[in-house]
Amino acid sequence: MHTNALIHSTSPYLLQHAHNPVNWHPWGEEALLLAQQQHKPLIVSIGYAACHWCHVMEKETFSDEEVATYMNAHFVPIKVDREERPDLDQLYMQACILINGHGGWPLNAFALSDGRPFYAVTYLPKKQWLNLLQQIVALYQQDAEQCMAQAKSLSEGIQQSFALPLPHNNADNTLFRDVYASLFPKIKPFIDFKWGGFNRAPKFPMPAVWEWLLQYVYFTQEQDALQGVLTTLNRMAMGGIYDQIGGGFCRYATDTYWRVPHFEKMLYDNAQLISLYAHAYQITRQQRYANIIRQTIAFVERELTDASGGCYASVDADSEGEEGKFYVWTENEIKSLFDDQTASRILAYYHVTAPGNWEQGKNVLYVTEDDAQFASQHQLGLTEWQAVLQEAKSLLSARRAQRTRPATDTKMLTSWNALMVKAYVDAYRALGEKTFLDYAFRIMHFIETHLQDSRRGLWRNFTQGKASVPGMLDDYAFLAEACLECYQVSFDIQWLHRARALVQFALDHFYDAAQKCFYYTADFLPAAAGFRIPEMEDQVIPSSNAVMAHVMYRLGIYLQEAEFMDRAVQMLQMALPQIQSTPHYMAKWAQLLGLIGHGIREIAIMGKEAVKLTAELQSHYLPDCLFMGGEKENLPLLHQKSVPGQTLVYVCSHQVCQAPVQSAAEALAQIAAS
């Protein structure tokens, strides 16, 4: 059996390639130096453990002796886990997009020995891959100057694509409100009001967009925006993108109806969607949303949670070499589990047919009617049908448990775990279940124990008992945001101190004073091919700069540190042109625009019952409220607000407070009236 240098990695993705005949190297100085010494170009191949087409290329191409012999002779091949090194992925993906107009994984970039790319492609089958390799080698050997010229041109293009606009230095709250009001009409034509999401396929959940639109409804009462969000949430919950048996969301749907998923399940999607459904539940009190929250949390607990308390990255799309095999059903399988009448109903409810609704007799389970509609059409009482359905799900779950389960990527990432902390806090707010809060603090303890270093700041990853990659900006921003959320539900001042320390470390090592924003990588991490990139746009995960701006603005209010607030406003001013031109990629920034434009309320709750009372208040959707308090006047805004023997709520704006009240109902009335 072949073994290459990846055998010493902890990343499950890199270990998947450790026995390829390709002489893979991990990214690092050793591989770059080897390329320089041997005068060979690099192949930088990037993917992640749950990626279906990465598995296909590994099996068909990188396990092939002919391919490996050619790659080893003419290149220095490097394998990268994009989730451990998103900085490298950003660089080479942008090169791929500039060359081809699109990107994807596996991403295969050809680069000079210093790491600068000159060509890039995504998945290719063996024959096409070998043909491309031969063309690259011929070009590199016969006209190296052309490769160098292409690398120079691409580098300039990459720099330009990440260049930041000049800020609107004269922007004020009135302008912010006007720009904010103008954003929804720009994206409304692209929303699919029948099936949810945007009018395109594939469809990604994009939680940040729908979070922004819920906030937009709160500030503007725009009912079309609410319809767009709720339609999206309902259709996703009923579709195949949602695991109807085991709970949890897949990464995206390949069609416009959310029915056929790309089957991998990512922690970051499920964390953000728990938060989104929690906020939708706070607004609508729809039981369906509460069910989705509980089922998705149960999936995370069951399949993505380590005994240490941290959460794993993902569950694979494939099992036994087939995409979706663990999740799909044949008609005969379902018939074998039930009596004829029950089987008929379950087949109809989940749209299972003999030919299959997906591929060759295979069916993805999805629903198109709610339980009440289905029960009525089949002459059943709602309670009766729900009992039948619950028993059927238990049987289907037990049968599925006998199958070979997809692999789990067991690395634990700081930023994704921080998103899960926020998800648990949001679920606790919405449903009031104390267990969710316990889960949130359990993850924070894991991060503090395994991913924080008093001298080096944060680590990004923890796998097989080791942390190996320094934290990126999203690790600091998302963890600081999680600290703010933990403070608001506990009133434990340590969370604000921890958030401040994270922000200060980021300012010391990531901040670019000239551009007034943060680089994605720290100044002590070697820049990939000389690039330090500021991440501004949302992808499926919100922009790390936008989250950091949110954190600084709110932390500045809590601690009365004007410098933090000023920096956040400067960042927002710099982002304003992009927010106006492409709001669907700047949704997290748009949320900050709304908060600053419309103003943030400070809700101070002082007294022995402060935590209980804040839980009652926070069960409502109040995106413009910052909660603070407890029994100690340990923040500037809490001074002289404590009255012995009473628990009082102060609803304040810009440090000007209304008369204190003693109940959540009275405080909510003041919030609504102000």
What pLDDT band is residue 167 in, cutting at 50, 70 and 90?
low
pLDDT in tens, 584-624: 999 999 999 999 999 999 999 999 999 999 999 999 999 99
H helices of 162-284, in order, are 173-187, 207-220, 223-238, 267-284
pLDDT reported for residue 385:
95
Distance of CA 550 to the CA centre of its chain: 16
In a domain, 331, yes or no: yes
143: number of Cβ within 10 Å: 11
- Of 57-66, 155-164, 258-267, 394-403, the least confident: 155-164
In a domain, 361, yes or no: yes
pLDDT reported for residue 527:
83
In the block, which residue shows the tokens 């023997």? 645
In a domain, 531, yes or no: no
Task: Please report, for the domain that includes residue 131, its CATH number.
Answer: 3.40.30.10
Whether 11 has a pLDDT exceeding 90, the answer reads: yes
In a domain, 75, yes or no: yes
H helices of 491-543, in order, are 494-509
Number of domains in the chain: 3
Q: Which two tokens stand for residue 444?
A: 């924070």
pLDDT in tens, 191-245: 999 999 999 999 999 999 999 999 999 999 999 999 999 999 999 999 999 999 9
> Of 343, 368, 402, which residue is a domain's last?
402
> Of 161, 187, 220, which residue is a domain's last?
161
In a domain, 586, yes or no: no
Distance of CA 477 to the CA centre of its chain: 13
Q: Please provide the DSSP assignment of 289-300 as one string.
A: HHHHHHHHHHHH
In a domain, 514, yes or no: no
What pLDDT band is residue 531 in, cutting at 50, 70 and 90?
confident
Please report, in angstroms and rounded to a whole number, the separation of the first and last CA atoms in the chain: 71
Count how many residues are written for the chain. 674
In a domain, 394, yes or no: yes
C-alpha dist (Å) from residue 468 to 13, 413, 450, 461, 463: 15, 11, 11, 7, 9
pLDDT in tens, 429-455: 999 999 999 999 999 999 999 999 878
Give the pTM.
0.95
Whether 536 has a pLDDT exceeding 70, the answer reads: yes
What pLDDT band is residue 16 in, cutting at 50, 70 and 90?
very high
In a domain, 273, yes or no: no
Domain that holds residue 612: 602-673
pLDDT in tens, 30-61: 999 999 999 999 999 999 999 989 999 999 99
> Of 161, 185, 220, which residue is a domain's last?
161
Query: Average pLDDT, stretch 116-142?
Result: 95
**Which residues are within 8 A (CB) of 579 and not within 5 positions of it... i.e. 6 or more apart?**
179, 183, 586, 589, 590, 593
Q: Please provide residue 258's backbone torsions phi and psi, each rounded to the nearest 5 degrees.
A: 65, 20
